Amino acid sequence: MTTLHPHPAIAAFIADVTAIEAEGIDRSTLARIGARLARLAGETALFSFENFPLATDPAVETAVHTVHVGDGGRLPLQVLSARHVPGAPRRAAHLPHQHPTWAAAACVRGATHDTLWLRTGDGDRLAAQPEVRLTPGTAFTMMMHDIHSVRGDAGGPAMHLLMYGRVFERAIVFDPDTWRAYEHRVPAIAA
Ligand SMILES: [Fe+2]
């Protein structure tokens, strides 16, 4: 096990999620993982920008910090520190995409906007569901192969916790103009 920032709150969180996941992942257990992640995100003294800084280049929107990865790449926990940079290049996470594992996001501070996309017609097009504003105390969860997109908030810097079922290196991204799907390499597993 790799725990880059050992802390009792993180150890307790990983133990709780491990127990919930062992029940099997469905919408109900995933909602409980999301709620538990939101509770961890409430430890705002632990998750400071001093511990998990923004990208040093002010033109870069996000910095990803890995907090924990379990044996076999299980249950990676990351901190995403983000700022809004007007005119910044579009990132894969801004486009509808799907991860090859379940995922949960919770907000420490600031906000972000998540949209879930559902397949329509014969399944080759996507329809956006109402956007959700993710703020402290709330969580956004996705089953494996759910499709979502994320956009930053124009307010102050934001920090989110991201948890996945396992480490992954590729996500499937959908071009919103053509709905063509392509594989996107994800060097830091956050997408
Ligand atoms: Fe994502």
DSSP secondary structure, 41-70, as one string: HT-TTTS-TTTSPPPSSTT--EEEEEEEE-
How far is ligand 1, taken at its centre, from the CA of residue 82, in Å? 14
Cα separation, 160 vs 99, in Å, equals 17
Span 10-25, pLDDT tens digits? 999 999 999 999 999 9
Task: Name the β-bridge partners of 31.
Answer: none
Read out DSSP for 5-20? S--HHHHHHHHHHHHH
Span 79-115, pLDDT tens digits? 999 998 888 777 778 899 999 999 999 999 999 999 9
How far is ligand 1, taken at its centre, from the CA of residue 135, in Å? 17
| Portion of the chain with pLDDT greater than 90, in percent | 70
How far is ligand 1, taken at its centre, from the CA of residue 23, in Å? 24
- What's the token pair of residue 7? 């802390």
Q: With cut-offs at 50, 70 and 90, classify the pLDDT of residue 189.
A: low
Instruction: State the pLDDT at residue 34.
Output: 98
How far is ligand 1, taken at its centre, from the CA of residue 95, in Å? 9
- Residue 136: C-alpha distances to residues 105, 106, 142 (Å): 11, 7, 18
How far is ligand 1, taken at its centre, from the CA of residue 148, in Å? 6
Span 23-35, pLDDT tens digits? 999 999 999 999 9
CA torsion through residues 120, 126, 131, 132, sign: positive
Q: pTM of this prediction? A: 0.91
Specify whether the CB–CB gap between 126 and 96 falls below 8 A. Answer: yes
Task: Name the β-bridge partners of 3.
Answer: 68
How far is ligand 1, taken at its centre, from the CA of residue 158, in Å? 16
Specify whether the CB–CB gap between 151 and 82 falls below 8 A. Answer: no
pLDDT at 190 over 70: no
Among residues 10, 154, 15, 31, which one has the least CA distance to residue 79?
10
How far is ligand 1, taken at its centre, from the CA of residue 5, in Å? 23
Between the ranges 4-8, 34-38, 124-128, where is the mean pLDDT highest? 34-38
Task: Name the β-bridge partners of 23.
Answer: none
The rounded radius of gyration (Å) of the Cα atoms in the chain is 16
Among residues 140, 89, 87, which one has the least CA distance to residue 111?
140
Mean pLDDT, the chain, integer = 90
Instruction: State the pLDDT at residue 188.
Output: 55
Among residues 95, 60, 74, which one has the least CA distance to residue 17?
74
How far is ligand 1, taken at its centre, from the CA of residue 146, in Å? 9
How far is ligand 1, taken at its centre, from the CA of residue 190, in Å? 7
Span 137-149, pLDDT tens digits? 999 999 998 999 9
How far is ligand 1, taken at its centre, from the CA of residue 99, in Å? 6
How far is ligand 1, taken at its centre, from the CA of residue 1, in Å? 24
At residue 96, the 3 state secondary structure works out as coil
How far is ligand 1, taken at its centre, from the CA of residue 48, in Å? 23
